[in-house]
Amino acid sequence: MNTTCTRAILAVSFGTSYEAARKATIEKIEQDIAEAFPDYRIYRAWTSKMILSILKKRDNLIIPNVTEAMEQMLSDGIQDVIIQPTHILDGIENNIMKEEALAFRDSFHSITFGTPLISSREDAHAVIGAVAEEFSEHLEDTALVLMGHGTSHRVNSVYAEIDSMFKEQGHSNIFLGTVEAEPTIQDLVREVCSYDPKKVVLAPFMIVAGDHAHNDMAGDEPDSWAYQFRQHNYEVQPVLKGLGEYPGIRSLFIDHVKQAITGQA
């Protein structure tokens, strides 16, 4: 890394308390960004206060939040900052991140934001392609049910739109819902039962396979998605693999950084 460089890319993620998931997703995205943009210094920030607190207390691992990362870059002599979030959508978390970063607008020559994973119809098509490629070995008698996070922000409508796009592109056996908004698990159970597969594969539609994936999706509790589908006598196979592990997803983040650098974001 060129320590005299005044240009930096700050990769901003929600974060995870799962070490293996962090290395397989967030760190892999950061590594890909570093390899694709060797003329930039690479920094990291996480937005989840709870996760940052857990890691500091449990593992003595200190990861900066957005404000701390901006302060560090300022101290290091960085002048031009590209901020690339690994968030799925431009919702509440991403908007708060932008506000925190823009508090430093007068301290840097430029602050430019890359877009979250799904910020256009082209992005949606690319994500659908990456997911379909990842699960291309599954036959039509297997339903792939994806768990998105969901948000109270109006951008939550994207989940239902992408679910429809899967079907429009010939993937009638892929279903997308959310754990905290709509479409709900009840919606998905109804749709999957109507499709009547022999088997249900569950996978997170999140960058990291963290708490939601391990507990809300694959857990043994009665409110977990795996339990709900087993109650309908389906064979259920949870896949604890975040979107950040898919090469096509990481490639899309690289494209978003390129767009930010060229002023297209």
Enumerate the active-site residues.
Answer: 149
Q: Vertex 22, ends 17 and 25: CA angle to 5°? A: 140
Nearest to 55 by CA among 39, 44, 43: 44
Give all strands (DSSP E) within the chain, no chain letters. Answer: 7-13, 41-46, 80-85, 110-113, 142-148, 174-178, 199-204, 235-238
Q: Report the DSSP beta bridge partners of residue 41.
A: 8
Instruction: Please tell me the distance from the alpha carbon of residue 6 to that of residue 4, in angstroms, as a whole number.
Output: 6
Q: Take residue 109 and report the two structure tokens written for it.
A: 């020559």
Q: Vertex 138, ends 136 and 139: CA angle to 5°? A: 115
What are the φ and ψ backbone dihedral angles of 181, each rounded to 5 degrees?
-150, -140
Please, how many CA atoms are within 13 Å of residue 9, restricted to the half-sphere of its CB? Answer: 28
Sequence-distant (6+) residues with CB within 8 A of 142 are: 173, 197, 198, 199, 200, 201
Instruction: Please tell me the distance from the alpha carbon of residue 101 to that of residue 67, in angstroms, as a whole number.
Output: 7
Inter-residue contact 177 to 147 (CB < 8 Å): yes
DSSP 155: G
Cα dihedral 14/15/16/20 (nearest 10): 130
